[in-house]
Amino acid sequence: MKRIEIHPSVYLAWNIANVEACESGSPRIEPAHFLLATLIIIDGVFEDVAEAMSLSPETVRGIFDVAAQCRTVLKMSDDEITTARRGLRASLREQGNPVETTALHRSGESRFIFQRAGRRTIKADADYLTVAHLLEEIIEHMPVIARPFFKSAPASTPKDVDEWPDYIVDDAKH
């Protein structure tokens, strides 16, 4: 099996998602936090995190290239992306009280999204798993909390339902 590497855009999204999860009082990093992180990257408001991670200007340019791919995936205007980012952040933060920023683990659903994104990367014969691959999977399995901020949110059930792990609650079936 082909070995794929993780693109710096994923590490950046992971760091941002971790902070957003802590700010929303979540015990785990959920797909909605990764979606918010992706919207932050697309909007280009990640300088503080990139600086804290000591990302080189060259790496940041590569992340902006991936952000352009994400814009294509979303098919939304800049204003719509900013509105979705702000709305999703507000909704997530309404759910709980901020906790001290600490390293959180991904939820089972987030791990599932990463597995699917990895398969997508391999099928595309790409060398790197990027935040664009994650975004495609998150959109395909749109978190309920994010649906109001996107024009057309797909159903939460994946195409190949038998692959849906038992440990993930499918709200469409309940």
23 has a pLDDT exceeding 60? yes
158 has a pLDDT exceeding 50? no
**Domains of the chain: which residue ranges?**
5-173
DSSP 8-state code for residue 43: H
**DSSP string of 44-73, one letter each residue:** T--HHHHHHTT--HHHHHHHHHHHHHHHHH
Confidence class for position 3, pLDDT limits 50, 70, 90: confident
Report the alpha-carbon distance of residue 174 to residue 172 in Å, rounded: 6
φ and ψ of 19, to 5 deg? -60, -45
Domain 5-173 is in which class?
mainly alpha
**How much is the average pLDDT of 158-167?**
44
DSSP run (H or E) holding 38: helix 31-43
Residues in Cβ contact with 75 at an 8 Å cutoff, skipping those fewer than 6 apart? none
50 has a pLDDT exceeding 80? yes
Amino acid code (one letter) for 150: F
104 with 28: CB under 8 angstroms? yes
